[in-house]
Amino acid sequence: MASEIERIDTGEGIRTLLEEPRFELMPFESMDEQLEHLPEGAEVAITTSPTLGLEATIDWTERASERGYEIVPHVAARYVRDREHLEELTGRLTDAGVTDVFVPGGDREEPVGEFSSAYELLSALDELDSGFDDVGITGYPEGHAFLDDEVLAESMAEKEPYATYIVTQLCYDAETILEWIEDVRDRGVDLPVEIGIPGVMKYQRLLGISKKVGVGDSVRFLQKTTGVLDFVRRFVGARGMYTPADLVEGIAPYATDPYYDVRGVHIYAFNQVLDLESWRAETLDQHR
């Protein structure tokens, strides 16, 4: 397989990945300020927050779409009450001009209604003939805290017919991501992969966000991937600041290879866009 890989120059790959990424934001009050720091017409994913529910996601989708951003809302299955609620949501999203949705299971132990998994919601969406051009599902390069690899593989096989691409959960290691894509391809899944990477994060600010939302959506997210202690060590080693430079550099040579079929990068910005955009602009300037 390695001989078939079409590698490109690292600088070219970095440009390919960073020129038009997808930015993921949380639907908090800071969203308005965060949007101001993004490029005009940027593609923005909006999460479903365990503390605010699905309504905040839909509300911000409508508001940001009106401002010209290309919005990809997370429609988390466990937050949708029933098929009537789903039909209402899809109608609002369609009216807002949304053509791409991301469907995770959702971070709550008990569903609010009849949908307990992404597969169940995807099936219902298909029956509704919602008209979305693209539908994303989740991939787990480092596994899942509560599900083994076999269950994850079976779940992806169930969801694949309803999806047009995969978004990977946050991961800090390029080799792990690439090996995971190879495994997915070996299983016969050929969906394009949007690689989830962390943004530029100040530890102090992340703690501030966490306090505002109680236990902390962002910390909970990180606990499911590298773990908080490892995360803290990374910040201490970088004098309080993390950038995904090494991660992007590791993925870059494979950015246009048809085997890996990288759709782009999905940046988990944790509502710290100003630092992220400063780093992204500087990095692009270095590789022009």
pLDDT > 70: what percent of the chain? Answer: 85
Which token pair is 197?
Answer: 């990477």
pLDDT range class, residue 205, cuts 50, 70, 90: low
pLDDT confidence of residue 5: 85
DSSP string, 15-78: HHHHSS-EEEE--STTHHHHHHTSPTT-EEEEPPBTTTBHHHHHHHHHHHHHTT-EEEEB--GG
Mean pLDDT computed over 176-186: 95
What does the pLDDT read at residue 1?
56
Q: What is the pLDDT of residue 217?
A: 40
**Span 254-265, pLDDT tens digits:** 999 999 999 999
When pLDDT is cut at 50, 70 and 90, the band that residue 8 belongs to is: very high
Lowest mean pLDDT among 100-114, 212-226, 269-283: 212-226
Predicted local confidence at residue 208, as pLDDT: 53
Nearest to 220 by CA among 229, 228, 212: 228
Cα–Cα distances (Å) from 168 to 142, 195, 223, 280, in that order, read: 9, 5, 16, 20
pLDDT of residue 63: 97
Average pLDDT score over residue span 21-39: 95
250: its two tokens = 């590791």
Q: What is the pLDDT of residues 65-104, one digit of tens each?
A: 999 999 999 999 999 999 999 999 999 999 999 999 999 9
Residue 280 in this model has a pLDDT that exceeds 80: yes
Query: At residue 212, does pLDDT exceed 50?
Result: no
Domains in the chain, please, with CATH? 2-283 (3.20.20.220)
Mean pLDDT of 206-227: 45
Grade residue 4 by pLDDT with cuts at 50, 70 and 90: confident
At 288, the pLDDT band (50, 70, 90 cuts) reads confident
Supply the DSSP symbol for 169: P
- Tens of pLDDT, residue by residue over 144-165, are 767 788 999 999 999 999 999 9
Report the predicted TM-score, pTM, of the whole model to 2 decimal places.
Answer: 0.88
Whether the pLDDT of residue 121 is over 90: the answer is: yes
Average pLDDT score over residue span 227-252: 72
Sign (positive/negative) of CA torsion 5, 172, 136, 277? negative
Q: What is the pLDDT of residue 51?
A: 87
Chain mean pLDDT for the chain: 88
pLDDT at 20 over 60: yes
- Res 287: pLDDT: 92
